[in-house]
Chains A and B, each alone.
Chain A
Amino acid sequence: MRSRQPPDTGIPSASQPSHRGPTLSTAIAFENVSKRFVLERDRPRSFKEAFVGTLRRERQAQETLTALDGVSFELEQGGSLGFVGPNGTGKSTSLKLIARILEPTSGRIVVDGGVAALLELGAGFHPDLTGRENVFLNGSMMGFGRREMERRLARIVDFSELGRFVEMPVKHYSSGMYMRLGFATAIHLDAEILLIDEVLAVGDQAFQHKCRDRIAALRRSGISIVLVSHDNAAIRELCDRALWLEAGQARAFGATETVVEAYYASMVAREEARLAADRRAAGEAEAEPNDVEPEPDRWGSREVEITGIELLGPDGQPHEILLTGQALTLRLHYLAHQRVEDPVFGIAIHRDDGLHINGPNTRDAGLAIDAVTGRGFVDWQIDQLALMSGRYELSAAIYDAAAVHAYDHHHRRYPLRVRASQVGEQYGLVHMPARWRHQPLAEALPAADRPEDG
């Protein structure tokens, strides 16, 4: 039996006894593994096509898709590995190779230990069978007999929180119940290696947290974990190694922080290039100045107009994606069609779900602007952006001195994307620059309680 997991305190326990002993052997090894798929349309699907194919001997060269191209890595037992990379670069293919659902085209894969693959929660459930019957069916897919599963049933039902619903056919389950049962079954099968493909992204918040907690606990108990996720926070939280795949090739393999950081940088660069291209395309389309159609997210009398917003990074250059903890300047460009006295410039930041985060303006901040004529800009400068990763929306507005009459109000019109890559934090909405301190008070322990004393 596997040792029971320690209570989930969130703090890794160094004293956790390893049931594997001190030797670190390999759990998974890829040696120069490649996987190529023959693309569907070139393969005969019926006798007729095969027959016609043999008649036309000049068979065009088979078109193949290289999903993995000479990938090598090794994961020690008890280690945890996260695959990162854009879509379609072989992450899921790698998991399927480890799970032996696919076989490599060339190269060698060694897997030491029983594998539980959570590629899809509840894969193999039969809709007409009850939850309990499906647990046994699923268990036998992992090679477990009835008696072995009976021992686990209570724990599985308990974890899944299904209660008496376990006696009901799973076709009547909600998708949440279905997934809970699938997850509960998979993690109680005592596999040495757990493969997880994006399944953490499903289910409600509470279930997601429960899954993550349990995976973290399994990891502490010495199980090897391989995770594929686009959620870099999950990779950071659960993995100590990361492998960055790009077009089927390993771009980087090593400590999670380093690899994820490098992947981030490349992703940000790529996304900015894409957004710039989008903007150029949009700019060309909107070249006609005649914008008289009503805009629901913009109002005001327009004596002075906001003509544009720029997000300037620490390098003074415009960026689409900003980083937590870095300097940011928000620049409001205006054009006054006539002289406007005592205008008030303001902005607001909302999270994309509507949470109103702030709303500073020049009047409250004590910046008096006597009058504006013609063109100009107003800067709002932040030394350290406090927002954590997420999508936000910017509003910008120019009001009269009493902040009652709108000259021009752009309501939640501008996207603001933030990534928290360098601040050593991942949860919540804001990053508050702070320091930790630890002060042990050894003398406070009474002598009698001290171990190894006397």
Chain B
Amino acid sequence: MSESSTAAPPLPGRPEPGSAGPGSRGTGPAVSVAGRERRLAERLAELWRYRHLVGNLVVRDLKVRYKNSVLGFFWSLVNPLLMMAVLSLVFGFIFPIGEARAPHLFILVAILPWNWFNAAVAGGITSITNNAPLINKVYFPREVLPIGVVLSELVNFLFALPVLLAIVALTPSVDFTRHMLWLPLIILIQGAFTLGFVLFLATANVYYRDTHMIMDVVLLAWFFLTPIFYEGSMYDRYTLSIGGQAVPGSRIAFIVNPLASLIANYRVVIYGSMQGPPSAPDLLFLGRTALTALVVLVGGYWVFHRYSGQFGEEV
């Protein structure tokens, strides 16, 4: 990025970072040097100093979202209920989804995490470009913006979870089990995957504004290709022969689509399968998903990190 970084010797007599005297605190780093690569550790430390901004952006998003609406915050609770009603209507009566018990719950348990992902991606892509006035006038670590979007959508998802649990309680054919305790881990993995993906897309959208147009279509396709209103085993109708070995279609689907794996995990710990009760997730399966999420997060952050210095002049 900066060809000059190696050529410039440090200034003689510079105080070490953090030793800039009694006045230095609060506002950003004590010493900042532009024109050289900043190490990852510095970036993360700086991000930590700006945690209040992340918090405030999340609060701002939530406040603004429900301002001027009659139901306000209750939309977070009502929305999943209405969505469940629509989906039950469609997949219970129009296209029945087979012999699933409690089809409404079968769908709801998958659609809520999908909604989080969908909203975070849709909002996150434009989080840099839509905040151009801010980026042009104020310095802060740019990743704060996409992180804020992913987190505020997470909060929305978390608001909807009690509704989901209430419906579980009201549904006789599905019981509470201790396997639900896996939820925080699954949510964490989804958060990492979503954030990495959003960081990448937000960067791409700065340079190519087509990104968010394309993603509209991609998200629609993604929704139907992810086992939300059907089970992953649907893909087993097809097998792929790799090196003479027949690989079931669902394996391929789970490898290609991390969200399919995540949603399968949500379903298995809350709802179970179409036939059986909830169970613990397959740890190997969950581990592979976690690894994918981590790779996406690191990759997305790396791309973002690489280009975010230029956002000030590109947006």
The residues of A with any CB-CB pair to B shorter than 8 Å are 2, 19-21, 25-26, 29, 31, 33, 37, 44-48, 50, 96-97, 99-104, 106-117, 119-120, 123-124, 126, 128-129, 133, 136-137, 139-146, 148, 189-192, 222
Q: Is A106 within 8 A of B23, CB to CB?
A: no
Residues of B within 8 A of A19 (CB): 22-23
Q: Is B313 within 8 A of A129, CB to CB?
A: no
Contact with A along B23-67 (1 / 0, CB 8 A): 111111011111110000000000001101101110010011001
What is the bound-complex CA distance between A136 and B53, given in angstroms?
A: 9
| Given A29-B11, A128-B63, 20 new contacts (CB under 8 A) | A19-B22, A46-B209, A48-B210, A101-B135, A101-B136, A106-B2, A108-B8, A109-B33, A110-B32, A111-B33, A112-B15, A112-B30, A128-B67, A137-B57, A140-B52, A142-B28, A143-B26, A144-B26, A144-B27, A190-B27
Residues of B within 8 A of A146 (CB): 52
Q: Which residue of B lies closest to A110 (CB)?
A: B33
A112's contact among B4, B31, B55, by CB below 8 Å, is which? B31
Given contacts A33-B35, A129-B60, contact A103 B137 (CB under 8 A): no
Contact with A along B1-22 (1 / 0, CB 8 A): 1111000100101110000111
Residues of B within 8 A of A97 (CB): 34
Whether B96 is near chain A, meaning CB under 8 Å from some CB there, is no
Given contacts A46-B208, A107-B4, A126-B60, contact A37 B313 (CB under 8 A): yes
What is the bound-complex CA distance between A115 and B210, given in angstroms?
A: 35
Q: Is B2 within 8 A of A116, CB to CB?
A: no
Q: Is B210 within 8 A of A143, CB to CB?
A: no
Most chain A CB neighbours (cut-off 10 Å) among B27, B208, B210:
B27
Given contacts A108-B33, A142-B28, contact A47 B210 (CB under 8 A): yes
Whole-angstrom distance from the CB of B212 to the nearest CB of chain A?
A: 12
Residues of B within 8 A of A110 (CB): 11, 14, 31-33
Given contacts A123-B137, A133-B63, A148-B26, contact A106 B52 (CB under 8 A): no
Given contacts A112-B30, A114-B26, A143-B53, contact A101 B210 (CB under 8 A): no
Residues of A within 8 A of B312 (CB): 96, 101-103
Whole-angstrom distance from the CB of B25 to the nearest CB of chain A?
A: 8
Q: Is B60 within 8 A of A116, CB to CB?
A: no
B23's contact among A29, A50, A113, by CB below 8 Å, is which? A113
Residues of B within 8 A of A107 (CB): 4, 8, 35
A114's contact among B28, B55, B63, B209, by CB below 8 Å, is which? B28
Most chain B CB neighbours (cut-off 10 Å) among A21, A97, A103, A116:
A103
Whole-angstrom distance from the CB of A223 to the nearest CB of chain B?
A: 9
- The contact sample of 21 A-B pairs, CB cut-off 8 A, is A20-B22, A25-B15, A31-B11, A47-B208, A102-B312, A103-B310, A104-B35, A108-B35, A110-B31, A111-B34, A112-B24, A112-B30, A114-B24, A114-B26, A117-B139, A129-B60, A129-B63, A140-B50, A141-B138, A148-B26, A189-B26
Q: Which residue of A lies closest to B4 (CB)?
A: A106
Residues of A within 8 A of B22 (CB): 19-20
Whole-angstrom distance from the CB of B59 to the nearest CB of chain A?
A: 8
Whether B140 is near chain A, meaning CB under 8 Å from some CB there, is yes
What is the bound-complex CA distance between A125 and B115, given in angstroms?
A: 29
What is the bound-complex CA distance between A101 and B34, given in angstroms?
A: 10
Whether B248 is near chain A, meaning CB under 8 Å from some CB there, is no
What is the bound-complex CA distance between A20 and B32, given in angstroms?
A: 19
A136's contact among B56, B64, B135, B137, by CB below 8 Å, is which? B56
B139's contact among A100, A140, A222, by CB below 8 Å, is which? A100
Q: Is B138 within 8 A of A117, CB to CB?
A: yes
What is the bound-complex CA distance between A112 and B31, given in angstroms?
A: 4
Q: Is B20 within 8 A of A113, CB to CB?
A: yes
Residues of A within 8 A of B31 (CB): 110-113
A108's contact among B20, B36, B57, B135, by CB below 8 Å, is which? B36
Residues of B within 8 A of A2 (CB): 23
Whole-angstrom distance from the CB of B114 to the nearest CB of chain A?
A: 27
Residues of B within 8 A of A102 (CB): 312-313
Q: Is A144 within 8 A of B52, CB to CB?
A: yes
Q: Is B33 within 8 A of A189, CB to CB?
A: no
What is the bound-complex CA distance between A25 and B16, given in angstroms?
A: 12
Residues of A within 8 A of B136 (CB): 96, 101, 119
Q: Which residue of B lies closest to A146 (CB)?
A: B52
What is the bound-complex CA distance between A108 and B34, given in angstroms?
A: 6
Q: Is B53 within 8 A of A140, CB to CB?
A: yes
Whether B309 is near chain A, meaning CB under 8 Å from some CB there, is yes
Contact with A along B50-87 (1 / 0, CB 8 A): 10110111001001100100000000000000000000
Q: Is A100 within 8 A of B137, CB to CB?
A: no
What is the bound-complex CA distance between A48 and B214, given in angstroms?
A: 12
Contact with A along B275-315 (1 / 0, CB 8 A): 00000000000000000000000000000000001101100
Residues of B within 8 A of A100 (CB): 32, 34, 139
Q: Is B27 within 8 A of A115, CB to CB?
A: yes
What is the bound-complex CA distance between A178 and B152, given in angstroms?
A: 27
Q: Is A192 within 8 A of B56, CB to CB?
A: no
Residues of A within 8 A of B28 (CB): 114-115, 142-143
Whether B133 is near chain A, meaning CB under 8 Å from some CB there, is yes
Residues of B within 8 A of A141 (CB): 50, 53, 138, 140
Contact residues, B131-153 vs A (CB, 8 A) = 133-140
Residues of B within 8 A of A48 (CB): 210
Residues of B within 8 A of A21 (CB): 21
Q: Which residue of A lies closest to B14 (CB)?
A: A110
Q: Which residue of B lies closest to A101 (CB)?
A: B312
Residues of A within 8 A of B35 (CB): 33, 103-104, 106-109
What is the bound-complex CA distance between A117 and B32, given in angstroms?
A: 15
Q: Is B137 within 8 A of A45, CB to CB?
A: no
Given contacts A19-B22, A101-B139, A116-B27, contact A124 B134 (CB under 8 A): yes
What is the bound-complex CA distance between A306 and B2, given in angstroms?
A: 65
Q: Is B210 within 8 A of A46, CB to CB?
A: yes
